[in-house]
Amino acid sequence: GFSSGQSLHSQQEAVRRVTVIGGGQMGSGIAQVAAAHKHEVTLVDVNSEALKRGQAYMVKSLKRVAKKKHSDDEAAQSRFVDEIMGRVTVSTQLQDAVGRADLVVEAVVEKLQVKQELFARVSEAAPGTAILASNTSSLPIGKIAEGLEEGQRRRMVGLHFFNPVPQMKLVEVVRTEEADAQVVERAVAFVRAIGKEPAVCKDTPGFIVNRLLLPYMMEAVRLLERDVASPRDIDTAMKLGAGYPMGPFELCDYVGLDTIKYIVDGWHKDGAGLKGNPLFAPSAKLDELVKSGRLGVKTGKGFYDY
């Protein structure tokens, strides 16, 4: 386990080996960016198909960068992609995959119990000096960590990335009351080392960005439910009238409607300080889309068809 007797030196060492758990849109993006910045990366998923999709997504994204970087040199483009992908290993064996990690970033489905069970296993299998991080959108880090022993809880932080990970420059670093200052410092250093800008914040529901973004997205869905305007007109309005790069429905589809539903349902039922808040009341429209498998861009259909 993680003990306070460990030397300051080993705790402050820079992160080199990163294990990302969950090979979906976020996990594959985090793996890509870490590998592009010279880290050794292992990407883990329970589903080997998800790992294949994740790899394909990374290659596609890197090819786009390669084309910009080496515009008329196809050999250099391939070398660029191959070199980065050469640092990414995929695995379905959680135990082995975290065994040598300096940092573990969890990016599985937004369900408390799944994350709690995962961290119970990860905290046993990862080296005692590893930082344990969750990319959760909405769950308190302290709640995910509540079943772990104190020494484990001290090395747990939130590292909240934004979608699409390669393009979005922010990472929220969530500092729980129990987290060691050095763990938070190392996490901040990692964020800078992968070319992102950290914003450190307390462990409150939605941290900074989602606490402001989710009310906006849900209010857009309520406008639609009241038939004020079509998704297309609402999106156009916010892009051209407020300067947002995507409208709220494009953004909902991009994030994933299942993820949005888990976030707002969780807060409405149980979220510290948000329980019963009408901003996060269930939406019949959202429920219906999720029930019919229209989860957004990742399934090819959401508010829009792709």
**Of 106, 110, 172, 250, catalytic:** 172
Q: By CB under 6 A, is residue 135 in contact with ligand NAD?
A: yes
Compute the distance between CA of residue 303 and CA of residue 182 in angstroms, rounded to an integer.
Answer: 44
Which of 56, 109, 120, 246 is the binder for ligand CAA (CB under 6 A)? 246
Burial 265-299, CB ≥16 within 10 A → b, else e: bbbbeebeebeeeeebeebeebeebbeeebbbbbe
Q: Can residue 168 be called a binding residue for ligand CAA (CB under 6 A)?
A: yes
Instruction: Please choose which of ligand CAA, ligand NAD, none residue 114 contacts, taking the beta carbon within 5 to 8 angstroms, the exact cut-off set by kind.
Output: ligand NAD
| For ligand NAD, the closer CB: 184 or 214 | 214
Q: Which of 150, 148, 162, 154 is nearest to 191 (CA)?
A: 162
Q: In this structure, what token pair is assigned to residue 127?
A: 């080296």
Q: Is 137 a catalytic site residue?
A: yes
**Element holding 103 (H helix, E strand):** strand 103-106
Nearer to ligand NAD, 55 or 136 (CB): 136
Active site residue 172: yes
Under rule CB under 6 A, which residues in 101-160 are in contact with ligand CAA? 137
Which region among 130-138, 146-154, 173-181, 275-283 touches ligand NAD (by CB under 6 A)?
130-138
Find the helix or strand (DSSP H, E) in which 84 lies.
Answer: helix 74-85
The 48-87 contact track toward ligand NAD, x by CB under 6 A, reads --x-------------------------------------
List the strands of the sheet with 17-21, edge to edge: 88-91, 40-44, 17-21, 103-106, 131-134, 156-160, 170-175, 197-202
Our answer to whether residue 288 is catalytic in this structure is: no
Binding site for ligand NAD (CB under 6 A): 21-27, 44-47, 50, 107-110, 114, 118, 135-137, 161-163, 255-256, 259, 298
Residues with a catalytic annotation lie at: 137, 160, 172, 210
